[in-house]
Amino acid sequence: MSNRVYLFDTTLRDGEQSPGVSLNVAEKVQIGRQLAKMGIDVIEAGFPVTSQGDFNAVQAVAREVKGSSVAALARANPKDIDRAWEAVQDAEQPRIHTFIATSDIHLQHKLRKDRQQVLEAAVAAVKHAYKYTSDVEFSAEDASRSDLDYLCQVLEAVINAGANVVNIPDTVGYTMPEEFKEFIEQIVKRVPNIDKATISIHCHDDLGLAVANSLAAVAGGARQVEGTINGIGERAGNAALEEVVMGLYTRKDTYNLTTNVTTEEIYRTSRLVSSLTGMMVQPNKAVVGKNAFAHESGIHQDGVLKERTTYEIMNPSMLGITTSNIVLGKHSGRHAFRDRLMQLGFNLAEDEVNKAFGRFKDLADKKKEISDHDLEAIVDEEIRELPNTYDLSYLHISSGTTVVPTATVGMKIGDETMEEASCGDGPVDAIYKAIDKITNLHLVLEEYVINAVTGGKDALGDVTVKLRQADNGKTYIGRGVSTDVLEASAKAYVNAANKLAYEQKVQELGDRS
Ligand code: KIV
Ligand code: ZN
């Protein structure tokens, strides 16, 4: 058996099924590129039959992301599979991923089919997909709650039909590590043609065991692990791929297995996914949480100062978490600024460096010392890939304990500057109402989160908003950073409005063509 573990990332498909998460095409391509840079083997870009938007996103990822296979999901029927192929065919290495449930619970209550009918549908689906490509993955949904004999029968049949990857999902996060390892070992033993396919696993985190179950399955013989960045996904989420990768790496003594991942890209990928999905990473999250390498107790601090490995089993620099003694400030030049960005993993074009440098200088006037976290926050904001319809020009707020909060907002739309004023329940509400008057986009604020990027009174405020468009029900995530939290709030709202405007434009162009 090979000692290489393949990583299948479904952040753009299962991850996007997290409640409230919705990524536009440009954001999916941006994440796809970063996943490829990180060394992910297969990127599942979406489920094309579900909507035109999903189809477009899969097609764009397939066309623009190089270096990884790109997969499209399809139920086990010809229409889904045709649509999946249409979307993914231009990828360097396209894969069709087709699935049907194999557990009796799903057969009886969801599919209303008997075992023979499901087996035939699975085989027919794989054969249909195989007409398009020899890279066909079959998933037996709810496999971990399926009858093992029947599951093995289905796996044998789909491998004979052409599947080169067979996926064993723990769809509802029900299994336990020891049990799942044994389950995979039994599949290896009982499916006679299993050597013709790679065994994959796909674990959900309903009992908090997705990563443990994935690692146990690998020990049992699985060689493809499916999961998402930061563990986002349906309900409690999927296995966090960065944890799986670091588990395999850190405990090479136990597993003796390798992956293709450039671990130095892990932290950047995590931050990008968090920023674009609006799903915050909990501070105590393994591997990528803010506190994952913070030592609070004096005994621990003393130990780490003497020898890092006393309390750290991973080196943060391996994850791309850099800590530097060089502090940038208002006297720092472009050269030092660019060097620091390179060390942080940003490979920016000249015009992007210029934009970011201008922003850095503005910030340096307000904040004495600029940390790496500050730099990451402002650069992320400056190099967003979408063209802006709206630009925030100015903001005046009157607020206090005895006055009605009032905001006047100026925004540039093309060459025109528009101004509106509004009162509100608080200054943020007043700002948002004034912006609504200008954009007329019917946005409803669903979530508002504010964080300080660093400590200290002059810290940058980092605001994330989730807005729902009242007419189409879709949600848009926006983010803004500034030393002034009201300005950060306004920027976040405008950023979400820009995403909606961009989507409307893309749709108009599509309707016209
Ligand atoms: O959880 C699941 O079973 C899935 C399949 C479609 C692979 O997401
Ligand atoms: Zn899933």
Q: Which residue has the higher pLDDT, 352 or 261?
A: 261
Q: Which residue has the higher pLDDT, 2 or 196?
A: 196
Q: Which atom of ligand 1 is nearest to the CA of 169?
A: 3
- When pLDDT is cut at 50, 70 and 90, the band that residue 372 belongs to is confident
Distance (angstroms) between ligand 2 centre and the Cα of 333 equals: 48
What digits encode the pLDDT tens for the residues 102-132? 999 999 999 999 999 999 999 999 999 999 9
Q: Which two tokens stand for residue 367?
A: 């904040």
The protein residue whose alpha carbon is closest to atom 7 in ligand 1 is 139
Q: Are strands 6-9 and 198-203 parallel, antiparallel or unpaired?
A: unpaired
Which ligand is nearest the CA of 18, by number? 2
Q: Which atom of ligand 1 is nearest to the CA of 101?
A: 3
Pocket of ligand 1 from Cβ distances under 6 Å:
14, 99, 139, 141, 167, 169, 171, 202, 204
- When pLDDT is cut at 50, 70 and 90, the band that residue 326 belongs to is low
pTM of structure? 0.90
Strand segments, DSSP code E, in 151-209 are 165-170, 198-203
Assigned fold of 390-512 = Double Stranded RNA Binding Domain (3.30.160)
What digits encode the pLDDT tens for the residues 414-473? 999 999 999 999 999 999 999 999 999 999 999 999 999 887 888 899 999 999 999 988
Q: Which atom of ligand 1 is nearest to the CA of 10?
A: 8
Residue 511 has pLDDT above 80, yes or no: no
Buried residues in 350-368 as b, exposed as e (16+ CB within 10 A): eeebebbbebbeebbeebe
Distance (angstroms) between ligand 1 centre and the Cα of 113 equals: 19
Q: Among 17, 18, 139, which is best to mutate for testing ligand 1, by the most ligand atoms less than 8 A from CB?
A: 139
The Cα–Cα gap between 249 and 379 comes to: 30
What digits encode the pLDDT tens for the residues 199-246? 999 999 999 999 999 999 999 999 999 999 999 999 999 999 999 999
pLDDT reported for residue 320: 93
Distance (angstroms) between ligand 2 centre and the Cα of 171 equals: 6
Q: Which residue has the higher pLDDT, 329 or 45?
A: 45
The protein residue whose alpha carbon is closest to atom 5 in ligand 1 is 141
Distance (angstroms) between ligand 1 centre and the Cα of 134 equals: 21
pLDDT reported for residue 301: 87
Percentage of the chain lying above the pLDDT 90 cut: 80
Q: Which residue has the higher pLDDT, 431 or 350?
A: 431
* 110-to-100, 169, 358 alpha-carbon distances in Å: 11, 17, 57
Q: Give the lowest-confidence range in 81-95, 171-185, 287-301.
A: 287-301
Q: Of 483, 30, 42, nearest to 277 (Cα)?
A: 30
Which ligand is nearest the CA of 227, by number? 2
Compute the average pLDDT of residues 481-491.
96
What digits encode the pLDDT tens for the residues 154-170? 999 999 999 999 999 99
Q: Among 204, 206, 224, 232, which is best to mutate for testing ligand 1, by the most ligand atoms less than 8 A from CB?
A: 204
The protein residue whose alpha carbon is closest to atom 8 in ligand 1 is 14
Distance (angstroms) between ligand 2 centre and the Cα of 202 equals: 6
CA 342 to chain centre: 23
The protein residue whose alpha carbon is closest to atom 1 in ligand 1 is 171
Assigned fold of 6-277 = TIM Barrel (3.20.20)
Indicate left, alpha or beta for 140 from its phi (over 0: left) and psi (-120 to 50: alpha). beta
Distance (angstroms) between ligand 1 centre and the Cα of 169 equals: 6
Which ligand is nearest the CA of 139, by number? 1
pLDDT reported for residue 400: 94
Distance (angstroms) between ligand 1 centre and the Cα of 12 equals: 13
CA 4 to chain centre: 24
Residue 315 has pLDDT above 70, yes or no: yes
Percentage of the chain lying above the pLDDT 70 cut: 98
pLDDT reported for residue 324: 63
Residue 96 has pLDDT above 90, yes or no: yes
Distance (angstroms) between ligand 1 centre and the Cα of 290 equals: 30
Work out the mean pLDDT of the chain and round it to a whole number.
Answer: 94
Which ligand is nearest the CA of 47, by number? 1
Which ligand is nearest the CA of 100, by number? 1
- When pLDDT is cut at 50, 70 and 90, the band that residue 325 belongs to is low
- When pLDDT is cut at 50, 70 and 90, the band that residue 343 belongs to is confident
CB neighbours of 416 closer than 8 A, spacing ≥ 6?
none
Which ligand is nearest the CA of 97, by number? 1
Distance (angstroms) between ligand 2 centre and the Cα of 238 equals: 7
Distance (angstroms) between ligand 2 centre and the Cα of 325 equals: 42
Q: Which atom of ligand 1 is nearest to the CA of 143?
A: 3
CB 410 within 8 A of CB 431: no
pLDDT reported for residue 453: 86
Q: Which atom of ligand 1 is nearest to the CA of 73?
A: 6
Q: Which atom of ligand 1 is nearest to the CA of 238?
A: 1
Q: Which atom of ligand 1 is nearest to the CA of 172?
A: 1
